Amino acid sequence: MNRFLALFLLAFILIQPSVFAQQKILKEAIDRAQTEGFSGVVLVAEDGKILLEDAMGMRTYENRVLLHESDIFELASLSKQFTAMMVMICKEKGLLSFDDQLSKYIETPYPGITIRNLLTHTSGLPDYQAVMNQHWDKSKVAGNPEILEYLRKYKPAKSFEPGDKYEYSNTGYVLLASIVEKATGEDFVELMREWIFKPLAMKNTDIRSLEEKAKVKNFAAGHIKDGNGNYVNANTFQSSDYTIWLGNRKGPGRVSSNAEDLLKWDQALYTEKLVSKKTMEEAYSAFKLNDGTRSYYGFGWEIKPQSPFGKMVMHTGGNPGYSTIIVRYLEENKTIIILNNNAHPDMMRLVEAATLSLGKW
């Protein structure tokens, strides 16, 4: 997916249509996506001002409830940028250092890993979900303490030595949330509400349990096609079961939000409401691997040093039925947010069209 976006950005530099054509491309892409069954919200903004926000599809297919712009979606791995911010706030409060050893906070069978390795996916840690899937009693709900217990108990082999290469790691972000709890003595969920969601007035954003989600009227359910080609709730598929028996995990996912709250978050990152600009610059910096090459994943953000609008940071997310993305062009304060709740293949076409539309309004 990201390689596809990179190729598109190159093409954008070479061929740029007129202003009118740029806007027309986005409108046509939205119309096409809607015709082809895309369900989700598209938001395009510049300098924090919404240029376009559109909702299409269904909040729930079973009840034929239409989707609205304010509806709340599972963000999946977009949650990692919030986890990284919690670590950055801890650092600015003097509670930890990015180059502290993991072993200072959490006992694991994996020595030599720093907090910076966890943030940048350069730790070499094994996949926690694999070991839990193999050994955990799925009639029970696991969280971070149980995940850590099973990593210590079964000691699955690491993939590589810390800093040798980049490999996306949900395990690393579980450990980051646990480090925040260890450093602060507070619950990660409550602290995220106190440190991020409330100060930024992100009233639609939270880490919600299954029971809490059920009480949110405008929560957009994730949907997958059944054998007959009909969209049904993703929770009815066995592939979604892990969201239940790993339902108490913190760090790699589980934040739910809507497009306008994510725009509030996006704009706050240009200020010093949460952390200093110096710390944010570090979050957007490439990691130097042991062999001297660069890995372009910062603290919860994929980094593209060159794009049609200068430096870009972005992240995608995927849960059963959900596909999400935020694209931020830092030098020109341009933003694309797309939240999808039927795992539709048109999402990246919409990202392309939205990028073209940002040329000028």
Long-range contacts of 13-19 (CB under 8 A, 24+ apart): 13/308, 16/308, 16/356, 16/359, 17/356, 17/359, 19/359, 19/360, 19/361
270-296 confidence digits (pLDDT tens): 999 999 999 999 999 999 999 999 999
Mean pLDDT computed over 88-106:
98
Taking CA atoms, 224 is separated from 7, 231, 246, 345, in Å, by: 28, 5, 20, 12
For residue 6, pLDDT beyond 90: no
pLDDT band at 14 (very low <50, low <70, confident <90, very high): very low
pLDDT value at residue 2: 57
Helix ranges, the chain (H): 2-14, 19-35, 80-92, 115-119, 128-135, 144-154, 170-184, 188-192, 210-214, 242-245, 259-268, 277-283, 347-357
CA 109 – CA 131 distance, rounded (Å): 14
To 10 degrees, the CA torsion angle through 184, 190, 191, 192? 140
Please state, in angstroms and as integers, the Cα–Cα distance from residue 250 to each residue in 64, 157, 178, 309, following that order: 32, 23, 8, 34
| Structural domains present in the chain | 2-357 (3.40.710.10)
Rounded percentage of the chain residues whose pLDDT exceeds 70: 93
Query: What's the pLDDT tens digit per position in 217-272?
Result: 999 999 999 999 999 999 888 878 898 999 999 999 999 999 999 999 999 999 99
pLDDT score recorded for residue 137: 96
pLDDT at 360: 60
Stretch 314-341: mean pLDDT, rounded?
97
- Tell me the C-alpha to C-alpha distance, in Å, between residue 33 and each of 62, 164, 224, 225: 21, 41, 16, 16
Q: What's residue 255's pLDDT? A: 98
Instruction: Report the percent of the chain where pLDDT is more than 90.
Output: 85
Tally of CB atoms within 10 A around 217: 9
* Average pLDDT in the chain: 93
pLDDT at 219: 97
pLDDT, position 71: 98
Residue 322 binned pLDDT confidence (cut-offs 50, 70, 90): very high
- The H-or-E segment that residue 161 falls in is none
pLDDT tens string 143-181: 999 999 999 999 999 999 999 999 999 999 999 999 999
- 345 and 11 Cβ atoms separated by less than 8 Å: no
By annotation, the residues acting in catalysis are 77
What single letter denotes the amino acid at residue 23? Q
Closest CA to 52 of 343, 347, 338: 338
The pLDDT assigned to 347 comes to: 87
Strand partners, 40: 56, 340
DSSP readout, 211-260?
HHHHT-TTB---EEE-TTS-EEEGGGSGGGTHHHHTTB--SSS-EEE-HH
Quote the pLDDT of residue 238: 82
**Which of the two residues, 147 and 18, has the higher pLDDT score?**
147
19-56: burial string, b at 16+ Cβ within 10 Å, e else: eeebbebbeebbeebbeeebbbbbbbbbeeeebbbbbb
pLDDT band at 359 (very low <50, low <70, confident <90, very high): confident
The larger pLDDT score, comparing residue 1 to residue 292, is at 292
Residue 12 has pLDDT above 80, yes or no: no
Residue range 292-321: average pLDDT? 96
Q: What is the mean pLDDT of residues 199-206?
A: 98
Average pLDDT over every residue of 29-52: 95
